[in-house]
Every structure is written in structure tokens, then in C-alpha cells.
Structure 1
Amino acid sequence: MNGKLIGGGIVVIALIFGAVVYYSQEYGYYDEIAPGSQAAKISLVELDGTTLDPLQAEGFKGIDADSSPLRYRACFKTDLSIATATETYEVYDKATPLIGPKWFDCFDAKTIGADLESGRAVAFLSQHNIRPGVDRVVALYPDGRAFVWHQLNDEAEK
């Protein structure tokens, strides 16, 4: 009887611990980014590699966390066409959107990644080394949808 009680207690503690870890990873660390804040200002790097042009972002919705620079995600609409963007801004060849929390439903990393691979969307460099070893990347769609995330660059410590 005593072993069942101890075993049951261990299972209950493990379940509670698992729930706390899940909550902290999925909800606890994230903060919504206020439209108009510095974190909501999106820019693109011109072909010269040094000039940052601000990008008009309508309906901005974003999240970030202090615990990691890779937790940044955002969605918005813009009137910038892909044709103009490819002539003016630096295309980001190794774009790999990172999966975010399920509750931030405007950002679907798997769909964005598939669209980048198929050519339905094009990725551009928003800012190189926004934090050491981390780039900000913007994916643009022909219909004006745009998505932003941070990802490790070649300078990141492996």
C-alpha cells in the first residue's frame, strides 16, 4: 500500500511539473508587442547592405520574449510588392521560420516555410545581427501579407 501511495505521489508531482513547464514555454515568457513600439518597427536592408528602409506595416500583431532573441514573431500587411522588393532589398536565401506558440495563430511557420520553398513567398533581410548571431527576416506574399521572425545566422556560435 505504501509503495502505491509513493508511486502515485511521484506521478502527480510529475504531471504538475509537466503542466508548469508547458505553460511557461507556451504562454509564460511571451509578451505581446504594442503596435507603434520600437519592436514593431520593421525595416528592410537595401541591396547596398547597409541602408535600412522602414516598411509600412498595417495591422501589426507581434510577440516577443526576454528569455530568447529567437522568440520574436510578427504578422502584418504591407503595400510593398514583391517585384519592387526584389529590385530594392536584400533577399534572404536561408530563411527558416521557427515554430511559435499555438495561441499566436497568425504565424504558421510550416506554411510560411513551404511557401518560401515553393516560391509563393520571398524572404528578405530586415536586420543583420539584431542581436549577436541573430538576423531578423521578413517574408512577403504577393497579396500583401508579411511575416517576421528572428533566426540564427552564420555568425552564431554553434
Structure 2
Amino acid sequence: MLKTLTLGALAWSLQAGAQEALAGARAADEIRLTSVQTGEPETILAEAMTAEGAEACFRTPMSLALLTETYAVYERPAPEPGPGCLDARRLRADLATGTAVAFLSEREVAPGMDRVVAIYPDGRAYAWIQLNEKAGK
């Protein structure tokens, strides 16, 4: 019972914190990735953004080759099903096979949570918030 309550509280906290963390990006139609060189998030080109809950979907004209040389790859992407445009099951499979690449957008957008962005070679891209190692993941 205690474990169920704890997991429920954590899920609520994640959703609430994720929505708050994405609010700024939605308002400005801005997506940022963390630079390998500086360690700081930088705005990338993003078009046709839609956002719902803790998810955002968009397109970028930037090449995957440029992105992987410039921005930090996220080692443990774990998109979860949500109410938005992101198909978590498909995206997980594509990340596992290398069809899409996950990048660190911003670390600790809320306590224990990172913003992650996955990008396909054709420019389709998805952003979400997930628990990080500080949250026990």
C-alpha cells in the first residue's frame, strides 16, 4: 500500500513538474539541447511545434550529423505514454535500434527530472520529461 501511494505521488509530481518545465518552451516555441562544448543548453531550430502535457512534437531542419557532433546524446532515454503526440512504444523501439537519437535538452528542469529530445534523420522530433538518476532511475 505504501509503495503504491509513493509511486502515485511520484507520478503526480513528475507530471506537474514536467508541465511546468515545458511551459516556457511551449510559450516561446523554443527547444534547447545541451552543447557538448559548453555544457549549456542552446536553442535549436524548431518548426511546427505542438505540445500537450509534458510532451512536445516538432520538426527541425538541422541535420542529425550536425546535432550529434554539437549536442550531448542522452544515454538512457525512456519516453513514457502520455496524452500528447508522442508514440512512446514506437519511439523506444526506434531509439533502441538507432533509428532516432536522444539528446539531453536540459538537466534538472525540475528536481530529479531531465528534458530529453529525440530526433529522427528526417527532422521529426519529440521532447519529454523523464526521471533522472537523482530520482532513482
For this structure pair, what is the TM-score category when the shorter chain's length is used for normalisation? 0.7 to 0.9
Residue 136 of structure 1, aligned match among 104, 110, 115? 115
Identical-residue share of aligned pairs (%): 43
Looking at structure 2, the residues matched to 75 and 135 of structure 1 have their Cα atoms a distance apart, in angstroms, of: 17
Looking at structure 2, the residues matched to 125 and 113 of structure 1 have their Cα atoms a distance apart, in angstroms, of: 16
Aligned alpha-carbon RMSD (Å): 2.6
Partners of 1:125 and 1:138 within 8 A in 2: yes
Residue 111 of structure 1, aligned match among 90, 107, 122? 90
Partners of 1:49 and 1:90 within 8 A in 2: no
In structure 1, the gaps of 5 or more residues are 1-24, 65-71
Partner of 1:48: 37
Q: Higher Cα Rg: structure 1 or 2?
A: 1
Partner of 2:3: none
| Residue 48 (structure 1) shift | 3.4
Give the partner amino acid of 1:86.
T
Change (3 A) 1:36 1:147: closer
Partners of 2:26 and 2:51 within 8 A in 1: no
Tell me the secondary structure at the aligned position of residue 75 of structure 2: coil
Partner of 1:127: 106
> Does 1:81 pair with 2:74?
no
In structure 2, the gaps of 5 or more residues are 1-11
> Does 1:148 pair with 2:127?
yes
Partner of 1:37: 27
The TM-score normalised by the length of structure 1 is 0.68
Q: Deviations over 1:91-147 (max 9, x none)?
A: 00100101012xx3x310000110000000000000000001100000000000000
The TM-score normalised by the length of structure 2 is 0.78
Q: How many pairs were matched up?
A: 120
| Residue 50 (structure 1) shift | 2.4
Partners of 1:116 and 1:123 within 8 A in 2: yes
